[in-house]
Chain A
Amino acid sequence: MKAHLSRRYLFSASHRLHSEAMSPEENQSTYGKCNNPYGHGHNYTVEVTVSGPVDENTGMVCNLTDLDGFIKREVLARYGHENLNMLPEFAQEVPTTENLCIQIYEIVHRGFHFAHLERVRLEETMMNSFEYAG
């Protein structure tokens, strides 16, 4: 029996949406308040969904300890309480929640092998969220 398991994690970070490829006016009209030169922050919720057969012996898709350990080490420690614009992956790329969602997907996809990664869903606020499934 194949089941999907989803786990939600919180982290807080700051960012500024600004593209070097745009004029100051274009940046302002595209990103609005998010273009504030001093940046601003969010409490992000990342929802990671993995899937696989339910192991007959454990009743689990994967052990939560493994998933929690990986996400804390590779995602929360990397992005929690950071200014996203300062990180190498956002040196050339605007740290929109879309791009951050893709980055997190790639980290999990590359490094977590205890179950199949289905998707990463990233909530920037209670009102907006983004999903990436590769």
Chain B
Amino acid sequence: MVYLTRKAEFSASHLYHNPDFTPEENRRIFGKCNNPNGHGHNYMLEVTVKGEVDPRSGFVVDLKQLKEIMHREVLDAMDHRFLNKEVSEFLHKIPTTENIAIAIWQRLHTKLTAAKLHRVRLYETPDLFVDFYGEK
């Protein structure tokens, strides 16, 4: 089994707000991230797939295909977008780094055929990242 990781960067804006909370609760729990006008990040995405090395190609996965899937499923949908308003998963769910990582996993894992998705790692900043392994 060999693990292969591909990175991609995208930039997006968001805000954290739960309509079930009072304005005070939203401010207390989400702090500056509750600013109603939103704010943005340069997200760094790391997608790790695993599989056996194909004896003919020497590949775990065709990198070109992986890149295309990541661009089509993730970057085209999220890059330079306001996540709360423009990405379907976040119309009714808060686009925290945790939830974005889960959404990216769900967008990718059914699309990968040759290799299996192992981990989605999403950096919101160089000091903060989330790993999702598809665990329930």
Contacts and interface: CB of A to CB of B under 8 A. Distances in A.
Interface of A: 1-9, 49, 54, 57-61, 63-65
A8 B126 contact: yes
B126 A5 contact: no
B98 interface: yes
Interface string B89-122: 0000111111101100000000000000000000
Contacts of A54: 96, 98-99, 102
Interface of B: 16, 18, 20-21, 29-31, 93-99, 101-102, 126-133, 135-136
The winner among A2, A3, A7, A64 for most chain B CB atoms within 10 A is A3
Given A54-B98, A57-B21, A59-B16, A8 B135 contact: no
Given A8-B128, A58-B94, 17 more contacts: A4-B131, A5-B97, A5-B128, A5-B130, A5-B131, A6-B128, A6-B129, A49-B131, A54-B98, A57-B18, A57-B21, A58-B96, A59-B93, A59-B96, A60-B96, A60-B98, A64-B128
A92 to B, nearest CB: 33
A114 to B, nearest CB: 13
A2 B102 CA distance: 9
Contacts of A63: 29
22 contacts: A1-B135, A1-B136, A2-B136, A3-B98, A4-B133, A5-B97, A5-B128, A5-B129, A5-B130, A5-B131, A8-B126, A8-B127, A54-B96, A54-B98, A57-B18, A57-B20, A58-B18, A59-B16, A59-B96, A63-B29, A64-B128, A65-B31
